[in-house]
Structure 1
Amino acid sequence: MAKKDTFRVVTRGANGEIRIKDYDSAEPLLKMHSQVGTEDSSTDLALRGMPVFRGLIGPMPEGKTIIRYESPEVFETLTKEWGAAKPKRRRRRTAAPDAAATES
């Protein structure tokens, strides 16, 4: 299991664009946000024991080494976009015509 060592915070800027900030440890987040608990129920065992912050949704896994936190507004927007996205339809291959049938 890879060690999760990057803390990513995703918020929305004043102009409406997504802002992503990465940190090497939880210390800067502890200075900016109040810790209200620790993650104890994640199916990703590397997230267990990670801090839960007031005003941020997370922790959630992103790749093998990133711990992601999102502002509630970003979480809601991205979740709606994800839910509205239609999956690509797979085309079924048609069977090749039988050689005997095409020669007739």
Structure 2
Amino acid sequence: MAKKDTFRVVARGRDGSLLIHDYPTSDPLLKMHVQIGTDDCSTDLELRGMPVFRGLIGPMPEGKTIVRYETPDVFEAMTKEWASAKPRRRTRRSAKEIAAAAAAS
């Protein structure tokens, strides 16, 4: 398993844009936010023991080496976008189409 070695904080700027800040350790976050606990129930075992901060949602995995924290407004907006996204329809080939493609090859 890859080690989670980047701490990413995603917040909303004054103009509504997303602001992403990456930190190599959790120390800067500990200076800016109050730690209220540690994650002990994540299904991603790499996140267990990571700090939980007041005012941030997280930790959550982002890729193999990034721990992500979001402000509540960003979390709410991203969740709404994710929930309203329509899944791509997958088409399946029939047995006739597979046989015809195999015969043509």
Q: Under a length normalisation based on structure 2, what TM-score does the superposition of the two structures give?
A: 0.89
Shift of 1:90: 1.1
Corresponding residue number in structure 2 for 1:84: 84
- Structure 2 residue identity aligned to 1:78: M
Q: Distance in 2 between matches of 1:54 and 1:91?
A: 45
Corresponding residue number in structure 2 for 1:38: 38
Point out the structure with max Rg over C-alpha: 1
1:7 maps onto 2:10 in alignment: no
Q: Under a length normalisation based on structure 1, what TM-score does the superposition of the two structures give?
A: 0.90
Q: How many residues align?
A: 99
Q: Distance in 2 between matches of 1:92 and 1:2?
A: 35
Q: Distance in 1 between matches of 2:91 and 2:60?
A: 33
Q: Distance in 2 between matches of 1:47 and 1:8?
A: 13
Hey, which of these two has a bigger chunk of helix by percent?
2
What is the root-mean-square deviation in Å for CA atoms of aligned residues?
1.6
Indicate the percent of aligned positions where both proteins have the same amino acid.
70
